[in-house]
Structure 1
Amino acid sequence: MKGFIQTIKNIWSIKELREKLILTFTFLIVYRFGSYIPLPGIDINEVTRLLDAQSDSQQGILGLLNSFTGGSFNRASILALGIMPYISASIVVQLMGLAVPYLQKLQKDGDSGRKKITQITRWLTIAICLVQAPAYLTLLQTQLLPYNGGFHSAYLLDPASFWFMVPSVIILITGTVFTMWMGEKITDRGIGNGISILIMVGILADLPRALLNAFELDTTGGIFFLLEIIGLLIVIMLCVLLVQAVRKIPVQYVRRAQAGSSSYMRSVTDSVRSYIPLKVNASGVMPIIFAQAIMFLPATLVGMVADQDSSWVVFFQKVADPFSWQHSVIFAILIIVFTFFYTAITIPVNQMADDLKRNGGIIPGIKPGKDTADYLDDILSKITFPGSLFLVLIAILPAIVNMLGVDQSLAMFYGGTSLLIMVAVILDTVQQINTYLLNHHYDGLMSTGRNKNVA
């Protein structure tokens, strides 16, 4: 504990790091405060009462979106869309970069190209908001706060009127743009990746309530709740291993230099050893996101069918239930397929082999060029399969622990996209803080002059 307190003091003593942390926390407070501001024409007290009555029905895509937005989605907040339109736009631009030559050229243009890609992503975010905002307001009237179901007291204005729809669409788009701006400011002037931190904070906002519900539902005097906490910590450690696990491919770089005197010259060959780190989970959370997008289709199709009692409708209802075994099996297959697909399109083994050959690097025992590309592809395939199985385990773990008696609200923190995002963001932020601490320690040694005796 003493060492932890001293580390906090060291962090606070660095002016630049202190200012970055203050700015980051300030934006996070603003973001959380904005998630409680309702749209004009919405009675926040009535919304709170309805949410308390509907707290057990948050599943599927609605529960996921609500989790990512820190509850703003269900509260009819001005930040209800959150940062998700920007995430969708980023994914679209990333996938288009594989097929559109113009985007491929921008990706190779360095900082100027990245700025143009960022600008394209921003405009695409607004375009997505133009579609999602009216869809959200329609969903608000039909499912979240059903206007025709007798809950008229939640609306101070007619939700179908011009004076509710148009201002609400403008406010929702503005809320997403403002959230996107805060995320970019945190990245530029704060600490960590701003967009990811906003998502993580939204996810963590539901954790205290989930823990409280689990504790209140425990009938064993706290023993089962303690086992739940221990299990959650074990799962978090497994996620850390999954995020950081790499396969190191040894690489040897050969350098040639000229040495000698005025009477003769001779060639000197020097070798430098390095390695290529191939991540076991190179695709991150993208396979889970893609698989979830596919799994949301059954629920959408079932809602359009009039006969809700037919056998195939009942089957699709089970598939849409994130805690059913049918959902887990299909979900697992999709994750494995998307893991191999996304890894194949994001890890260019041919380009890596060409770069090694151009820079004088070789993998010991492997010929440069095509043989190197085939070797890297073979290694990548071998580590991707166990990585995909581990990703499947993390993804379906909420359903498994729910079958063991863990409350659904807490079970969602045992795996899936939420847990992987939290672990990855926390590790990245801690690494950046450690970098500042190490740099400060190095500057301190230089300023005191104690490094003069170092050989």
Structure 2
Amino acid sequence: MASAAEQLAQNMNFSALSKATDLKKRIWFTLGALIIYRLGTYIPLPGIDPETFRQIYSSQSGGVLDMFNAFSGGALERMTIFALNIFPYISASIIMQLMTAIVPSIEAMKKEGEAGRKKINQYTRYGTVLLASVQAYGIAVGLEAAGASGFGSAVIDPGMFFRISTVITLTGGTVFLMWLGEQITQRGIGNGISLIIFSGIVANLPLALAEAFSLGQSNGIVAVIILAVPFIIAGIVACERAHRRVIVQYPKRQVGNKIFGGDSSHLPIKLNVSGVIPAIFASSLLLMPLSAANLSGAGGPEWLTWVTANLGRGSVLYLTAYSLLIAFFAFFYTGIVFNTEETADNLKKHGGFIPGIRPGANTAAFLERIINRLTVVGASYLVAVCLLPELLITEFNVPFYFGGTSLLIVVSVTMDTVGQIHSHLVAHQYEGLIKKSKLKGRRG
């Protein structure tokens, strides 16, 4: 079976893609959905003076706002209906996953299967609406307070009506993106939420390249960093593809006069099981309070002023919090994705065992040790990839698009999407071989 799959993979080309009708429909649907998202990033928020806001944003940019603006595909810089992007949904997902590990009733709901998953998804949507409403109201208040910056008010008619319309518009934009991402996942190709963030980063990449090359002409260090980007990408690809193979043996069993089993297989465990999720989760948690602090400027609350002073991008506290959050989510999400006890039970039910390890609790403990060691290495790799470029960006003013977080998201999402396309092509070619064999059988 493996050799057949390898042969199919070698024979795949554009002609195979042209024959895969379902895959083409999925790709076109994904591209159409992402185009709709990009168009929405240019629809301005009602009641905003674009020119005044552009001046206010320019005076506050250069820090965390650039990071949030990169993830939103420039929607924040233009203050459009998608300014909040998909981050309230990501924050709600984080909260629900934490609740799953803490609250027994939600944990029991998760074990109910498909019905429980639907309930948890519904609660996540409710949480998204709540978080988006709170954040949208904070942005509305911050925009009104930003008028004290000396550029004039960015809001044409401040007041409760503007705040209510802003909350409705921004919350509606986030809910629409949440729905669009789910549609891409179900009817398109790849993970919809990740592709929305990916398209936002890639959309402004040409402008970032031009800016980086202009900086490289005047700063040799920047040029060296730009040249190092392909090697960083190669390192990310190598680490994302790295995995540990745990040998699994299946005993021989006799049924009548025939002997079955006796085969050996392997259980692949990735070095970075959590993927790009820890970087996205950590960024989303740090971005919201910092963005509110930057937008409100001097007119904001005292605690936001403290946040700006002590948790600004490049500060020791910011880098420490960012590293700890990435490491935490790497372990947390790995524990959710790879359940060692469930894996050990499945192996035991199917008669499989790891050589030298007794089935059941001992197998679960053995897999737990492997997962913990791999996650330590994987979390260290994530922290290094996301943190070291942050130091270079802060020190040498390199555009954020060449930072570790953005590169990690772009490379990981690209690999995942290409992998799904490859799987669809393999499945399509297998279906073609089965149909041909059935036709030959009927003729015979």
TM-score w.r.t. length of structure 1: 0.81
1:3 maps to none
Decide whether aligned partners of structure 1 residues 79 and 335 sit closer, same or farther in structure 2, where only a CA change above 3 A counts: closer
1:11 maps to 17
Decide whether aligned partners of structure 1 residues 37 and 9 sit closer, same or farther in structure 2, where only a CA change above 3 A counts: farther
8 Å CA contact 1:35, 1:79 repeated in 2: yes
Deviation at residue 275 of structure 1 after TM alignment: 2.0
Decide whether aligned partners of structure 1 residues 447 and 376 sit closer, same or farther in structure 2, where only a CA change above 3 A counts: closer
User: C-alpha deviations, 1:216-265, integer Å up to 9, x for none?
Assistant: 223269x87764443111111211222222111111123534223xxxxx
1:434 maps to 422
8 Å CA contact 2:85, 2:173 repeated in 1: yes
Distance 2:423 2:142 in 1: 45
User: C-alpha deviations, 1:187-227, integer Å up to 9, x for none?
Assistant: 11111111111111112223222111111223269x87764
Say which of 54, 58, 61 aligns to 1:57.
61
Deviation at residue 394 of structure 1 after TM alignment: 0.3
Note if 1:20 corresponds to 2:26.
yes
8 Å CA contact 2:222, 2:398 repeated in 1: no
Q: Secondary structure at the match of 1:97?
A: helix
1:152 maps to 152
2:200 maps to 202
Say which of 392, 398, 409 aligns to 2:399.
409
Say which of 341, 345, 362 aligns to 2:353.
362
Structure 2, unaligned runs of 5 or more: 1-11
Deviation at residue 172 of structure 1 after TM alignment: 1.2
Q: Secondary structure at the match of 1:192?
A: coil
Distance 1:326 1:336 in 2: 15
* Identity rate, percent: 39
2:229 maps to 232
2:8 maps to none
Decide whether aligned partners of structure 1 residues 13 and 403 sit closer, same or farther in structure 2, where only a CA change above 3 A counts: same
TM-score w.r.t. length of structure 2: 0.83
User: C-alpha deviations, 1:272-296, integer Å up to 9, x for none?
Assistant: 3222222222233444456557767
Q: Secondary structure at the match of 1:365?
A: coil
Decide whether aligned partners of structure 1 residues 378 and 451 sit closer, same or farther in structure 2, where only a CA change above 3 A counts: farther
User: C-alpha deviations, 1:304-326, integer Å up to 9, x for none?
Assistant: 669x9xxxx8xx87863433566
The correspondence of residues 255-404 of structure 1 with structure 2, limited to 5 A, is 256-260=253-257, 268=259, 270-288=261-279, 292=283, 320-324=311-315, 327-328=318-319, 331-332=322-323, 335-336=326-327, 338-344=329-335, 346-402=337-393
Distance 1:294 1:186 in 2: 24
User: C-alpha deviations, 1:324-368, integer Å up to 9, x for none?
Assistant: 566545644554455445544654323332332233221101122
Decide whether aligned partners of structure 1 residues 26 and 421 sit closer, same or farther in structure 2, where only a CA change above 3 A counts: same
2:184 maps to 186
Q: Which amino acid aligns with 2:75?
A: S
Deviation at residue 169 of structure 1 after TM alignment: 1.0
Q: Which amino acid aligns with 1:116?
A: K
Decide whether aligned partners of structure 1 residues 431 and 213 sit closer, same or farther in structure 2, where only a CA change above 3 A counts: same
8 Å CA contact 1:183, 1:193 repeated in 2: yes
Note if 1:422 corresponds to 2:410.
yes
Deviation at residue 94 of structure 1 after TM alignment: 1.6
8 Å CA contact 2:23, 2:424 repeated in 1: yes
Note if 1:84 corresponds to 2:87.
yes
1:241 maps to 238
The correspondence of residues 209-220 of structure 1 with structure 2, limited to 5 A, is 209-219=207-217
Q: Which amino acid aligns with 1:373?
A: A
Distance 1:333 1:118 in 2: 27
Q: Secondary structure at the match of 1:367?
A: coil
Q: Secondary structure at the match of 1:278?
A: strand
1:34 maps to 40
Give the structure with higher Rg (CA).
1
Q: Secondary structure at the match of 2:256?
A: strand
Note if 1:72 corresponds to 2:75.
yes
Distance 1:333 1:80 in 2: 27
8 Å CA contact 1:296, 1:320 repeated in 2: no
1:264 maps to none
Q: Which amino acid aligns with 1:148?
A: A
Structure 1, unaligned runs of 5 or more: 1-5, 261-266
Decide whether aligned partners of structure 1 residues 329 and 98 sit closer, same or farther in structure 2, where only a CA change above 3 A counts: closer
Distance 1:39 1:293 in 2: 22
Q: Secondary structure at the match of 1:275?
A: strand
Q: Secondary structure at the match of 1:250?
A: strand
Root-mean-square deviation (Å): 3.5
Distance 1:124 1:404 in 2: 38
Distance 2:218 2:68 in 1: 33
8 Å CA contact 1:253, 1:273 repeated in 2: yes
Which structure is richer in relative contact order (CA contacts within 8 A, separation 6 or more)? Answer: 2
Decide whether aligned partners of structure 1 residues 205 and 140 sit closer, same or farther in structure 2, where only a CA change above 3 A counts: farther
